Protein backbone atom coordinates (compact mmCIF):
# COMPACT_ATOMS: atom_id res chain seq x y z
CA UNK A 1 0.00 0.00 0.00
CA UNK A 2 1.61 3.25 -1.10
CA UNK A 3 -0.88 5.60 0.59
CA UNK A 4 -0.47 7.67 3.73
CA UNK A 5 -0.27 5.53 6.83
CA UNK A 6 -0.78 6.46 10.46
CA UNK A 7 0.04 4.64 13.65
CA UNK A 8 -1.61 3.82 15.95
CA UNK A 9 -5.16 3.79 14.59
CA UNK A 10 -6.64 4.07 18.05
CA UNK A 11 -5.21 5.35 21.32
CA UNK A 12 -6.89 5.43 24.69
CA UNK A 13 -5.05 7.27 27.41
CA UNK A 14 -5.63 8.75 30.81
CA UNK A 15 -5.71 12.47 31.36
CA UNK A 16 -2.25 13.82 32.02
CA UNK A 17 -0.39 11.20 30.01
CA UNK A 18 1.72 11.96 26.94
CA UNK A 19 0.93 10.42 23.57
CA UNK A 20 2.78 10.33 20.27
CA UNK A 21 1.37 9.61 16.84
CA UNK A 22 3.26 8.77 13.68
CA UNK A 23 2.50 9.57 10.06
CA UNK A 24 4.24 8.08 7.04
CA UNK A 25 3.42 10.11 3.94
CA UNK A 26 3.47 8.99 0.34
CA UNK A 27 7.16 8.62 -0.33
CA UNK A 28 7.71 11.34 -2.93
CA UNK A 29 5.50 13.93 -1.21
CA UNK A 30 7.45 16.82 0.29
CA UNK A 31 4.50 18.43 2.07
CA UNK A 32 2.92 16.97 5.18
CA UNK A 33 -0.06 18.27 7.12
CA UNK A 34 -1.67 17.48 10.47
CA UNK A 35 -5.35 18.08 11.14
CA UNK A 36 -7.74 17.46 14.00
CA UNK A 37 -11.32 16.39 13.41
CA UNK A 38 -14.07 16.23 15.98
CA UNK A 39 -17.59 14.88 15.57
CA UNK A 40 -19.70 16.99 13.26
CA UNK A 41 -16.79 19.11 12.08
CA UNK A 42 -14.47 19.13 9.14
CA UNK A 43 -10.74 18.69 9.57
CA UNK A 44 -9.11 21.64 11.31
CA UNK A 45 -5.60 22.56 10.30
CA UNK A 46 -2.93 22.10 12.96
CA UNK A 47 0.43 22.39 11.24
CA UNK A 48 2.35 21.64 8.07
CA UNK A 49 5.83 20.80 6.92
CA UNK A 50 7.64 21.28 3.69
CA UNK A 51 10.38 18.69 3.80
CA UNK A 52 11.72 18.94 7.38
CA UNK A 53 10.74 22.58 7.93
CA UNK A 54 7.63 23.32 9.96
CA UNK A 55 6.22 26.32 8.13
CA UNK A 56 3.02 27.12 9.96
CA UNK A 57 1.24 26.23 13.17
CA UNK A 58 -2.38 26.90 13.97
CA UNK A 59 -3.45 28.72 17.10
CA UNK A 60 -5.20 25.43 17.93
CA UNK A 61 -1.77 23.97 18.55
CA UNK A 62 -1.13 24.81 22.18
CA UNK A 63 2.26 24.52 23.85
CA UNK A 64 1.37 20.94 24.79
CA UNK A 65 1.46 19.95 21.12
CA UNK A 66 4.65 19.47 19.18
CA UNK A 67 5.28 18.06 15.74
CA UNK A 68 8.46 17.02 14.02
CA UNK A 69 9.55 15.74 10.66
CA UNK A 70 13.22 15.15 11.31
CA UNK A 71 14.38 13.85 7.96
CA UNK A 72 11.63 15.16 5.74
CA UNK A 73 9.98 11.75 5.62
CA UNK A 74 7.77 10.52 8.47
CA UNK A 75 6.35 12.90 11.05
CA UNK A 76 5.36 12.63 14.69
CA UNK A 77 2.78 14.57 16.64
CA UNK A 78 3.18 14.56 20.41
CA UNK A 79 0.61 15.73 22.91
CA UNK A 80 1.87 16.27 26.42
CA UNK A 81 -0.32 16.23 29.54
CA UNK A 82 -3.39 15.19 27.58
CA UNK A 83 -6.75 16.69 28.44
CA UNK A 84 -10.23 15.35 27.74
CA UNK A 85 -10.68 18.08 25.16
CA UNK A 86 -7.88 16.55 23.13
CA UNK A 87 -10.12 13.61 22.28
CA UNK A 88 -10.49 13.70 18.50
CA UNK A 89 -9.39 12.09 15.27
CA UNK A 90 -5.91 13.25 14.26
CA UNK A 91 -5.43 13.18 10.51
CA UNK A 92 -2.28 13.35 8.47
CA UNK A 93 -2.16 14.30 4.81
CA UNK A 94 0.64 14.61 2.30
CA UNK A 95 0.98 16.27 -1.07
CA UNK A 96 3.31 17.12 -3.89
CA UNK A 97 0.81 19.37 -5.65
CA UNK A 98 -2.20 21.29 -4.38
CA UNK A 99 -4.12 18.00 -3.93
CA UNK A 100 -3.75 16.35 -0.52
CA UNK A 101 -4.01 12.66 0.25
CA UNK A 102 -5.20 11.66 3.67
CA UNK A 103 -4.29 8.83 5.96
CA UNK A 104 -6.82 6.82 7.99
CA UNK A 105 -6.29 8.91 11.12
CA UNK A 106 -5.53 8.17 14.75
CA UNK A 107 -8.53 8.27 17.05
CA UNK A 108 -7.51 9.55 20.48
CA UNK A 109 -9.71 9.05 23.52
CA UNK A 110 -8.65 10.75 26.73
CA UNK A 111 -10.35 9.34 29.81
CA UNK B 1 -11.40 35.62 7.59
CA UNK B 2 -11.02 32.75 5.16
CA UNK B 3 -13.83 30.25 5.53
CA UNK B 4 -15.75 27.49 3.80
CA UNK B 5 -19.46 27.03 4.42
CA UNK B 6 -21.57 23.98 3.78
CA UNK B 7 -25.18 24.80 4.47
CA UNK B 8 -26.67 21.32 4.27
CA UNK B 9 -25.60 19.33 7.29
CA UNK B 10 -27.77 16.30 6.68
CA UNK B 11 -29.36 15.22 3.42
CA UNK B 12 -31.57 12.18 2.90
CA UNK B 13 -32.41 11.05 -0.62
CA UNK B 14 -33.91 8.05 -2.30
CA UNK B 15 -31.89 6.14 -4.88
CA UNK B 16 -31.99 7.72 -8.34
CA UNK B 17 -32.73 11.17 -6.93
CA UNK B 18 -30.53 14.05 -8.01
CA UNK B 19 -28.04 15.54 -5.58
CA UNK B 20 -26.72 19.04 -5.10
CA UNK B 21 -24.62 19.96 -2.08
CA UNK B 22 -23.82 23.59 -1.52
CA UNK B 23 -20.39 25.02 -0.78
CA UNK B 24 -19.43 28.67 -0.44
CA UNK B 25 -16.00 30.03 0.29
CA UNK B 26 -14.59 33.38 1.26
CA UNK B 27 -11.24 34.01 -0.32
CA UNK B 28 -10.19 37.15 -2.07
CA UNK B 29 -7.69 35.87 -4.56
CA UNK B 30 -6.63 32.72 -6.33
CA UNK B 31 -8.19 29.67 -4.76
CA UNK B 32 -8.14 25.95 -5.34
CA UNK B 33 -11.33 24.07 -4.50
CA UNK B 34 -11.92 20.46 -3.58
CA UNK B 35 -14.59 18.00 -2.62
CA UNK B 36 -13.63 15.07 -0.42
CA UNK B 37 -15.77 12.09 0.53
CA UNK B 38 -15.54 9.93 3.63
CA UNK B 39 -17.36 6.62 3.43
CA UNK B 40 -18.28 4.97 6.74
CA UNK B 41 -15.16 3.63 8.40
CA UNK B 42 -12.85 4.89 5.67
CA UNK B 43 -10.49 7.82 5.29
CA UNK B 44 -11.03 11.01 3.33
CA UNK B 45 -10.77 10.53 -0.41
CA UNK B 46 -10.53 13.19 -3.10
CA UNK B 47 -13.65 13.34 -5.29
CA UNK B 48 -12.71 16.22 -7.53
CA UNK B 49 -10.75 19.44 -7.67
CA UNK B 50 -10.75 22.79 -9.40
CA UNK B 51 -7.59 24.78 -10.02
CA UNK B 52 -8.37 26.82 -13.13
CA UNK B 53 -9.92 26.57 -16.59
CA UNK B 54 -13.30 24.98 -17.25
CA UNK B 55 -15.46 25.81 -14.23
CA UNK B 56 -17.35 22.53 -14.59
CA UNK B 57 -15.18 19.76 -13.26
CA UNK B 58 -15.90 16.07 -13.33
CA UNK B 59 -14.74 13.71 -10.65
CA UNK B 60 -14.94 10.07 -9.80
CA UNK B 61 -18.13 8.04 -9.46
CA UNK B 62 -20.23 10.38 -11.63
CA UNK B 63 -19.82 13.46 -9.45
CA UNK B 64 -19.29 16.92 -10.85
CA UNK B 65 -18.96 20.39 -9.42
CA UNK B 66 -19.31 23.88 -10.84
CA UNK B 67 -17.17 26.81 -9.82
CA UNK B 68 -19.14 30.06 -9.97
CA UNK B 69 -16.72 32.85 -9.14
CA UNK B 70 -19.36 35.56 -8.85
CA UNK B 71 -21.18 33.55 -6.21
CA UNK B 72 -18.06 32.20 -4.47
CA UNK B 73 -19.63 28.79 -4.83
CA UNK B 74 -18.46 25.28 -5.72
CA UNK B 75 -21.52 23.07 -5.50
CA UNK B 76 -21.32 19.31 -5.87
CA UNK B 77 -23.82 17.51 -8.08
CA UNK B 78 -24.74 14.01 -9.15
CA UNK B 79 -27.70 13.33 -11.45
CA UNK B 80 -28.70 10.01 -9.88
CA UNK B 81 -27.44 8.87 -6.48
CA UNK B 82 -26.91 5.30 -5.40
CA UNK B 83 -27.11 3.67 -1.99
CA UNK B 84 -23.31 3.38 -2.08
CA UNK B 85 -23.02 7.19 -2.13
CA UNK B 86 -24.02 7.26 1.54
CA UNK B 87 -21.11 9.11 3.11
CA UNK B 88 -19.97 12.42 4.49
CA UNK B 89 -18.90 15.05 1.96
CA UNK B 90 -16.46 17.85 2.71
CA UNK B 91 -15.77 20.93 0.66
CA UNK B 92 -12.32 22.46 1.02
CA UNK B 93 -10.48 25.50 -0.28
CA UNK B 94 -6.81 26.30 -0.37
CA UNK B 95 -4.79 29.27 -1.35
CA UNK B 96 -1.17 29.28 -2.41
CA UNK B 97 1.21 30.73 0.15
CA UNK B 98 4.36 32.67 -0.54
CA UNK B 99 6.28 29.72 0.86
CA UNK B 100 5.00 27.65 -2.06
CA UNK B 101 2.76 25.51 0.11
CA UNK B 102 -0.98 25.55 0.53
CA UNK B 103 -3.21 26.07 3.54
CA UNK B 104 -6.51 24.23 3.46
CA UNK B 105 -9.78 25.21 5.08
CA UNK B 106 -12.55 22.60 5.28
CA UNK B 107 -16.27 23.01 5.62
CA UNK B 108 -18.15 21.25 8.39
CA UNK B 109 -19.33 18.49 6.08
CA UNK B 110 -22.65 17.21 4.77
CA UNK B 111 -23.83 13.79 5.84
CA UNK B 112 -25.66 12.15 2.95
CA UNK B 113 -27.89 9.15 3.45
CA UNK B 114 -29.29 7.40 0.40
CA UNK B 115 -32.27 5.15 0.98
CA UNK B 116 -32.45 1.99 -1.08
Q: pLDDT tens across B12-65, in order?
A: 999 999 999 999 998 777 789 999 999 988 889 999 999 989 999 999 999 999
Select from A106, A101, A88, A93 the least CA-distant residue to A34: A93
Banded model confidence at residue A96, pLDDT cuts 50, 70, 90: confident
pLDDT at A61: 83
- If one compares B96 and B13, the residue with the highest pLDDT of the two is B13
Contact B98, B30 (CB under 8 A): no
| 8 Å CB contact of A50 and B32 | no
Size of interface A-B (CB pairs under 8 A): 61
The residue in chain A having the minimum alpha-carbon distance to the alpha carbon of residue B51 is: A98
Q: pLDDT tens across A44-71, in order?
A: 999 999 999 998 888 878 899 999 999 8
pLDDT at A39: 87
Contact B34, B48 (CB under 8 A): yes
3-state helix/strand/coil string of B18-42 = CEEECCEEECCCCCEEEEEEECCCC
pLDDT at A35: 96
Radius of gyration (C-alpha) of chain B in whole angstroms: 14
Report whether the peptide linkage leading into residue B38 is cis, meaning its omega lies within 30 degrees of zero: no
pLDDT at B102: 74
> Percentage of chain B surpassing pLDDT 70?
95
CA dihedral B89, B115, B22, A87 (to 10 degrees): -40
Which of B51, B96, B106 comes nearest A42 by C-beta?
B106
Which of B43, B94, B108 comes nearest A98 by C-beta?
B94
Amino acid sequence: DTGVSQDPRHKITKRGQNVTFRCDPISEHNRLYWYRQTLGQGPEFLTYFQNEAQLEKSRLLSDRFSAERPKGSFSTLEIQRTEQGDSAMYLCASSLSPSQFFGPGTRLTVL
Amino acid sequence: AQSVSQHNHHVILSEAASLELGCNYSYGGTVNLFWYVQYPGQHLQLLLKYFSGDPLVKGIKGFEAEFIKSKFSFNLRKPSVQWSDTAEYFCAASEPRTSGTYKYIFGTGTRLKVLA
